[in-house]
Amino acid sequence: MQTGYYAAAAGMVTQFNRLDTIANNLANVNTVGFKEDNLVIGDFMRIYQEKRDDLPNENNTKESAAFINRTMTRAPKVVDAFTDHSLGTMQKTANSLDFALSSEGLFFAVQTPQGVKLTRDGSFTKNDEGVLVTKEGYEVLSDEYLKTGDGKISFANQDSIIVVDKNAQISTNLPNSAKLIPTQKLLIAQPKDLSLLKKEGNGLYTFGDIKNITNISDSGALQQGFVEKSNVNAVKMMTQLIETNRLVGMYQKAMSTQMDDMNRDAIEKLARKS
Q: Do 92 and 227 form a contact (C-beta atoms < 8 A)?
A: no
pLDDT digits (tens, 9 = 90+) for 88-128: 999 999 899 999 999 999 999 999 999 999 999 999 999 99
Mean pLDDT, residues 162-184: 90
- Spell out the residues 6+ positions from residue 98 whose beta carbon is closer than 8 angstroms to its own: 122, 123, 124, 224, 225, 226, 227
The residue extents of the domains of the chain are: 3-85+241-273, 90-228
Rounded distance between C-alpha atoms, residue 59 and residue 265, angstroms: 38
pLDDT of 66 reads 62
Q: Which of 24-33, 69-78, 233-242 has the lowest mean pLDDT?
A: 69-78
pLDDT digits (tens, 9 = 90+) for 52-78: 555 555 555 666 666 655 555 566 777
DSSP secondary structure of 103-135: STT-EEEEEETTEEEEES--B-EE-TTSBEE-T
Q: Please state the separation of Cα 223 from the chain's center in Å.
A: 23
